[in-house]
Structure 1
Amino acid sequence: MEQLSGQDASFVYLDTPNTPMHIGSVGIYDPSTAPGGFVRFKDILAHIESRLDKARSFRQKLVRVPFDLDHPYWIDDPNFDLEFHVRHIALPQPGDWRQLCIQVARLHARGLDLSKPLWEFNIVEGLDNIEGLPKGCFALVAKVHHAAIDGMSGVELSAAVHDIEPVPVDRTKKAKWKGENEPAVTEMLMRTWLNSVTQPVKFAKTLAQTVPGAARLIREVAGGDVSLKGARMAPQTLLNGKVGPHRVWDGVVFQLSDIRAIKDRIEGATVNDVVLTIIGGGLRKYLLSRKNLPKESLQVMAPISVRAEGEKEALGNLVSAMLVQIGTQIEDPMERLAWVRKEAVNSKAMTNAVGARTLTDYSQFIPSGLAGLGARLYTRLGVSNLHSPVFNCVATNVPGPRVPLYFAGAKMVRMMGTGPVFDGMGLINTIYSYGPEIAISFTSDRDMIPDPANYAAALRESFDELLRAMPKAEVKAKEAAPVKAKPATKAKAVSAKPAAAKPVKKAAGPKAKVPKAKTPAKPKGKAKK
């Protein structure tokens, strides 16, 4: 039995019918690489069953303390049933991209059963008409509650069911499993009392770690290394209000080599800076089309993993966050990239000064009952409509593998992500890199973005503008200097008469002054007439 951290438990408290708090992925696979050239559903079941012991999240469920007096606990589920968590559906013909987007949105809108292990796999067949993908592909739409994993531990969960070569399904391997009995109420109440006794000591330790960070931040602000000029609330947009129960999902794919080429245009820029610039441009175009673009820059929250090397397989969340302005007020794409780069550097410096891990530790001290009540009241009373948002949307970057992955022998040909939205924040952009590609997918409330294809098109246009800006800048850098030096000198000698008279002046001496004075005098007289 293991207790959830304050940060993990907060996702449980925030979970409502309108705001299910799970994250996930949409992997698309080509079954032609599997032994025999196809994959049956029973093959997938056998494959997942053989991997259940590789990730603890698969068979652990929540047990909540009575009246939420303390944070919940994880226990091994004695009634685990694989077929409850792995499901099978198919798209009708023609099986195109828009149909898949609608189906992913419907699956994502439905919350997980909090009384069972908090994950669900949906196999979606019939992907026969998606541009750039082989006919006959299937998708794995995965959902895992945010209380169980963050983006980085989600990569470990993904690694549990994937191989680096198309190996046949091992039907003989079935891990032995024995669950735990649910703890008695008296045991949980006793644990709650012990936690309340030790809480002040933990708080004092965290506070002691904060003081040096706060002093370091003050020094860096005073020294000009960190600026607080941009520290402000985000502007209100159509993305920042009370969310409903319905979702939309879509995404676009780019070549990672193009993203890297763009980042090289700005010294010190990163791939993440370019992605944030694309999102900034996409939001600028989309909100302009909806007549809802504010004059100030939109602000995104970018999660930061504080997971140490030895904590990669740990359950739950080990993340902090930084706020970055994404230059939606700037039309020029390269100017926007320079702006985002500057803002990202400053935000990282602020986070590093205080300590990202220290900020995360403070979530442990929020009273569990108060946190749950506050989350429910915030949603029920629609408080998000009454104040300016801290950030407008989320942009989370999940690094994926560079080598091909296989699931039950089928090759993964594309990977995208899904994420939760909640009151006050109705859009999350998930960035996932896999092989030579990097994808920006997004999840949003259906009432806030009723036309997801238009936002996807705006992201594509934003990327294209950045890409087109590169060769123009390179041509100017290479050709501007020689063109200005040589032709500029010749042009002056040919077209300007006073310039042509200079060599005559040297040859003829003072006599050249008389015709030089008369020549400009005549046009002046004509101009007066």
Structure 2
Amino acid sequence: MSELGPLDSGFMELEDSDQHVNAGIGAVAILDGNPGTRAEFTARMAQRISVEARLHQKLRRALWDLSAPQWVDDPHFDLGHHLRWAALPQPCDEPALWEMVATVMEQRLDRDHPLWHCTVVEHLAGERWALIVTAHHSMLDGVSGISLFQRFCDPTSDTAATRHEPDSGGASGWDWRAMLADGLRLPVQAPAALLRTVRAAAPLAWNAIVPESRSSLTGPIGRQRRYTVARVSLAQVKQIGAAFDVTVNDVALAAVTAAFRAMLLARNEEPDTETVRILAPVSVRTTDANRVLDNRVSAMLPQLPTELDDPVDQLRTVHARLNKHKASGEAGAANSILSLAKWVPFAPLAWAVRTALRFPQHSIAGLATNIPGPTRTLRLQGHKVLEILPYAPIAMRLRTSIAILSYRDHLGFGITGDYDTTPDLDLLADTITTTIDRLLDRCPQN
């Protein structure tokens, strides 16, 4: 058994606080050919999931939530609970697939069983099929989720299909020697660490609670979702980054900036310097922990320069603002707070999170998360994985989320929106692609 960490538990509380929220994250893999018979696919999937023990475990909550929920083996595990088959309506095109993705991701995972699910989608146009994989955010984050998907795929010469046992730190979930060492160092290190954390966390907390955004991007959300996709060339994004001396993430967020600006203008809303502040998760996962299924992310809350019209100005401003946030230690402060939270008893911590979630936030207008994906071509049950497209949920009055995932030579933007209040997701997707083209045209000629 192992306990959920504070952030893992927070995603459970987030879902419990709002009946309209499904805190599942996912990926949509598009593959060539067809999946074969259901019996064959199920048998092969049974072999794949045997390498990860967490996929056979469910959550058990303590009486009155006096301690953190624990992962325990499901004595009645049945793969049938986790596989569903579906077919697209004519013309079996990608818009129909995106609609199905939204429908699948609206549905909460059953907590009586392990918190993951796969939907096989047959008959996608172009002699293709799709696999929609979803898991609860309490079980994994984007980086560990992509690592898990790779373990679903066929092993290669440089990957080993060895069983991975969840890291529980011993039978009780604690490493007593590490705790003793930390305890001896704590009186010396704690005051300075606390001061650094408070200094860096103050701007983060201020940005999270000050009601700056009064646009249509924030507000109540319903149960239904919309989903669409934008695709750009990763080589072209890297070319833009090299030309302007910025990162791939800077270029991606500049395209997201232009997209939000276009959406606001189409809604007859004038974007200004305080309109679009986003939640930008930052991975703090080390390479050797990629296979561990949990959440290891911090966060920044940058403002996107939607007041600017020129794409190069947007790119340079995004780069400058992100550098400022990084230099401030904002992401490190958030991670330090989570580390300190591990020392707080679960019951008061859970109560504090539930109380905070009851207060509607008005300052954060969207979410944008960038996940590095596989650079090599994957195969699943012998089928070439043509694309992997990400899905990130919406919650806490954020009506739009954009997950960005690289795979091979492309960058995919998976865009999720509230069904009733974001009918214009296609405008976001179109603007992202056209902005990359505009930036490419503006690259200095060598």
- SS class of match (2:217): coil
Q: Give how far 1:85 is off.
A: 0.1
Q: Report the equivalent of 1:11.
A: 11
1:393 aligns with 2:352: no
Q: State the secondary structure of the residue aligned to 1:397.
A: strand
Measured after TM superposition, the shift of residue 376 of structure 1 is 5.7
Match for 2:95 among 59, 82, 98?
A: 98
Please give the alpha-carbon distance, in whole angstroms, between the structure 2 residues aligned to 1:340 and 1:213.
30
Cα deviation per residue 1:460-505 (whole Å; 9 max; x = unaligned)?
23223222322xx53xxx8xxxxxxxxxxxxxxxxxxxxxxxxxxx
Q: Deviations over 1:13-34 (max 9, x none)?
A: 11143111111101100027xx
* Aligned partner of residue 243 in structure 2, secondary structure: coil
Aligned 8 A contact 1:13 1:371 in 2: no
Structure-1 residue corresponding to 2:25: 23
Shift of 1:311: 2.4
Q: Is the 8 A contact 1:304 1:321 kept in 2?
A: yes
Aligned to 2:296: 318
Q: Distance in 2 between matches of 1:318 and 1:247?
A: 26
Give 1:110 shift: 0.5
Which residue is 1:494 aligned to? none
**Displacement, 1:325?**
2.2
User: Contact 1:210/1:358 (CA < 8 Å) preserved in 2?
Assistant: no
CA deviation string 1:210-246 (max 9, x = no partner): 724745997xx9xxxxx979x7444232222222111
SS in 2 for 1:50: helix
Between 1:400-409 and 1:10-19, the stretch displaced more is 10-19
CA contact (8 A) 1:24 1:141 kept: yes
Q: TM-score, normalised by structure 2?
A: 0.86
CA contact (8 A) 1:327 1:339 kept: yes
Query: Is 2:253 the counterpart of 1:276?
Result: yes
Q: Deviations over 1:274-311 (max 9, x none)?
A: 00000000000011101234312422222122223442
Partner of residue 445 from structure 1, selected from 418, 422, 445: 418
Provide closer, same or farther for how the CA distance between residues 377 and 244 of structure 1 changes in structure 2, counting only shifts above 3 A.
farther
- Quick one: distance in 2 between partners of 1:95 and 1:207? 63
Distance 2:139 2:263 in 1: 34
Distance in 2, matches of 1:263 and 1:315, equals 32
Aligned residues: 423
In 2, the alpha carbon distance for the partners of 1:160 and 1:235 equals 41
**Following the alignment from structure 1 to structure 2, what is the Cα–Cα distance between the partners of residues 427 and 312?**
27
| 1:244-289 Cα distance to aligned partner (Å, 9 max, x none) | 111111111111111011112222x100000000000000001110
Unaligned runs of 5+ in 1: 33-37, 129-134, 167-172, 178-190, 222-226, 479-529
Match of 1:42 in 2: 39
Sort the Cα spacing of 1:212 and 1:370 in 2 relative to 1 into closer, same or farther, 3 A: closer
Q: Do the aligned partners of 2:154 and 2:380 also contact (CA within 8 Å) in 1?
A: yes
Matches within 5 A, 1:319-358: 319-351=297-329, 354=332, 357-358=335-336
The answer on whether the counterparts of 1:93 and 1:126 sit within 8 Å (CA) in structure 2 is no
What is the CA distance between 1:72 and its match in structure 2? 0.4
Q: Which structure has the larger Rg?
A: 1
Given that residues 282 and 460 in structure 1 are in contact (C-alpha distance below 8 angstroms), is that contact kept between their aligned partners in structure 2?
no
Q: Distance in 1 between matches of 2:356 and 2:184?
A: 26
* Mapped partners of 1:392, 1:291: distance in 2: 17
Instruction: Say whether the 8 Å CA contact 1:6–1:363 is kept in structure 2.
Output: yes
Q: Distance in 2 between matches of 1:394 and 1:370?
A: 28
Question: 1:281·1:458 contact (CA, 8 Å) conserved in 2?
Answer: yes
- 2:300/2:330 contact within 8 Å kept: no
| Correspondent of 1:86 among 78, 83, 88 | 83
1:247 aligned to which of 221, 225, 237: 225
Give the counterpart of 1:454 among 416, 427, 433.
Answer: 427
* CA offsets 1:418-442 (integer angstroms, 9 cap, x no match): 1121123222111111111111111
Q: CA deviation at 1:371?
A: 5.4
C-alpha distance in 2 between matches for 1:344 and 1:299: 12
Separation of aligned partners in 1, 2:116 and 2:60 = 16
Q: What corresponds to 1:224 in structure 2?
A: none
How far off is 1:373 after superposition? 5.2
Question: Could you tell me which amino acid in structure 2 is paired with residue 12 of structure 1?
Answer: M
- In terms of mean alpha carbon deviation, does 411-420 or 284-293 score higher? 284-293
Change (3 A) 1:370 1:353: closer
RMSD: 3.3
Per the alignment, do residues 262 and 111 of structure 1 end up closer, same or farther by CA in structure 2, a change over 3 Å counting?
same
Quote the Cα distance in structure 1 between the aligned partners of 2:423 and 2:330.
Answer: 38
Tell me the amino acid that sits aligned with residue 343 of structure 1: R
Cα gap change, 1:49/1:296 in structure 2, threshold over 3 Å: closer, same or farther? same
Q: Provide the rounded CA distance (Å) in 2 between the counterparts of 1:424 and 1:241.
A: 5
Separation of aligned partners in 1, 2:353 and 2:221: 14
Shift in Å at residue 152 of structure 1?
Answer: 1.5
> In the alignment, what sits opposite 1:145?
136
Partner residue, 2:146: 155
- Cα distance change on mapping 1:212 and 1:309 into 2, 3 Å: same
Cα 1:446–1:370 shift into 2, 3 Å: farther
For residues 352 and 328 of structure 1, do their structure 2 counterparts lie closer, same or farther at Cα, with a shift above 3 Å needed? closer
TM-score, structure 1 normalization: 0.73
CA distance in 1, matches of 2:194, 2:33: 52
**For the residues of structure 1 that align with 2:331 and 2:148, how far apart are their CA atoms?**
32
Deviation at 1:404, TM superposition (A): 0.7
Q: CA, structure 1 residues 109+372, in 2 after alignment: closer, same or farther (shift >3 Å)?
A: farther
Report the Cα distance in structure 1 between the residues aligned to 2:24 and 2:36, rounded to whole angstroms: 27
More helix, by proportion: 1
Describe the superposition over 1:289-338 as per-residue Cα deviations: whole angstroms up to 9, x where unpaired. 01234312422222122223442222311111122222111101001111
